[in-house]
Structure 1
Amino acid sequence: MSDTILRENSAVRRAPDSYRAHGRPAWQRVLFTRESAIIGLLVVVILVALATVRNFDSPLTVTYLLLDVAPILLIALPMTLIIVSEEIDLSVASTVGLSSVIVGILTQAGLPFEATALVALFVGVIAGALNGFLITVVGLPSLAVTIGTLALFRGIAVGLLGTTAITDFPEFWTDLAQSRIPGTPVPSIVIPIVVLAVAFAILLHFTSFGRGIYAIGLNKEAAAFSGVHVDRTKFLLFVLSGLVSAFAGIFFTLRFGNARGDNAIGLELSIIAAVLLGGVSIFGGRGAIHGVIAGVLLIGTLGSALRLANVTSDVINVITGVLLVLSVVSTSVLRWVRSKRLGSAGKSRKEVPASSG
């Protein structure tokens, strides 16, 4: 009974804010969001780069920019869902490295590339399932689990291949990974990225499964009471993360033409930075796929423009870090401002009857 009363009271407390938000015109609800701000900032950065950076508008720049952000963009899609559910997966880059090594070893052993790719994808599923099992069944925190599996998967990858690199892959597949859509500077990898982005957007924003993810991020106990299978949902999210990370590992291997145990090391930081910059709350319960895509492209565009302007990688990392800190801090600041406004509105409603009486 007390739980029911608590949920009803919390719903009543949230009602004025929800009514006020949905009482605004539709164009305000679309434009006055963090996602729209990131998209606007991306447009500004592109325009400034086009006006000031030499060769930024060349087709080759566009090609390499999209090739560079492709693995980040792929993994950012399931990472968005995970962070919205108030969890995190730090093992994604290690899964990329492990799948790369699997592809290299099996290809070197003479297996058809198609078979090696399927095995690598299966390994990614197993890696994600291990994370999901430890988090949802054993009950361990995702931060601790994925830090551990980050080291575990990377250790297995390096242990299998050592310090050597495998560079002998079918020419058809390496050419395909670096190919462009005919008549454009856009790499062919953008096609599966668009397909996956649409699939993840539909899953998150237009299905009951996606609404359950938001509910878990806001309050997993309340989500469970409302019928959401919390543990099953989180388990599936980590499996999806492992699967997509393995796919990114296959692309990474073919794009650079080598399989190494240290492939994609540190990539998880760029992925998390892009997701948070794209408007996903680190506290869960908030975020959108289109904002994350804009965040990935913003970091990639900014880095590409600065490199063409001969800015060192250390300075680029500092700028990226500042953007990430600002994106996280802004969430807390906006929440504080909103709570102050609600508090002031509540006081004014109480004072009006008293003065009129």
Structure 2
Amino acid sequence: MNNLRRISPICKFSTTPEPSTTNPTNPLVQKALTPKTFTNASQLARHLSKNVLAHAPGRFVVLQKPYGVSCVGQVQANGGIFGNSVHDERKTERWAGTIREKPAEQIGVTISDCIQDLRKLLREPQLSFCTGLKRYLSGAIVLPCNDKDTNVLKECIRRMSADVEPPFMYNALAITVGRPPKNNGLVTGFATFRNVGKHKEYIFEERKVKKRQKSGKFAVEGHMSYKVLETKNGVSLVDFSVDKFARHLPRLMLTQMCAPILGDTIYWRRLAEVDGAPELISAGNRGHKIWIPRTLPEALELPNRSLLTSLPIYCHVYNTIFEDVGGHEAHGLVAAAKPPAHFLSMLEVLGLLPAYKEFKNKKEKPADTLETPVARSSGDFVF
């Protein structure tokens, strides 16, 4: 796996001839590379209010979180809902990239910034932020409209994030560089920080976490089920379900299978080109030629360097399951959202759109006709 003698140290980037321009001329490619952005809280609030996925008055509002927008924009006190997941609290911010110390222009507008405006626009005076999705994800988020339902959501998340068997809480689609070795499977392991040279990086180990590692917060355990929907042009469309996104777990798991998410700058660099094929190398290694599918630079009209530094991360959470949220008519809540325009455009550019449409049509059939239906009660809210 780590036979570095065969890895060329001459250049980090592929020797494939690069396009002559860094600005794609194909409008579809331009759309695929350009997620929608927001400059202020009022603009984002108006956008969110016009894209309400569902509204149970007085209880929940389901909104579509755009890609690239943080929910809070900073490290939360005491680790937020889940508590601190890093052993040494004093090092938490330094290890996480010190989000709190970034200039405001780097953080950008957040979902939390919009709450006041959303309360007025949606006529929900007690609307609050409870839990969301990572900045690099798009998908549905659920905002509670009262303190009681805030606690209901928190308890549901704590319970479901501890599940060790499917169905898991988060269901997502990712465009990956390369393809996992199997068409489908279940991955279990843990993520932790390790010293690699003079710095620390997230490391994934595909084995059961030891009790001391878990209780001492040296590691975070996670589980993923996955299915490859299609592979074309050196990339794949992967449907996966996970119990949590903490510590980059899904990103690490897919990288461990030699299929990092397209645009994931950090972990794509762990894929080296060895004898013309991708091979996973140890974290911290430098000087190798990073594996890039031969047809990708031409398809995206980008030089290799831009491919490895400038792409959005193509990962979308298409539904999130909240079990047992209670209510007179419902016991569960499924918050669902279609992929954003730039994600769909990238699927079209790379020839993966037919596979997505087939997948979408299957998911839209009644639950009892699906091969692997999501566990739901007859009274679920399906948002």
TM-score by length of 2: 0.24
Ranked by relative contact order (alpha carbons within 8 Å, sequence separation 6 or more), the top structure is 1
Structure with higher strand content? 2
More helix by share: 1
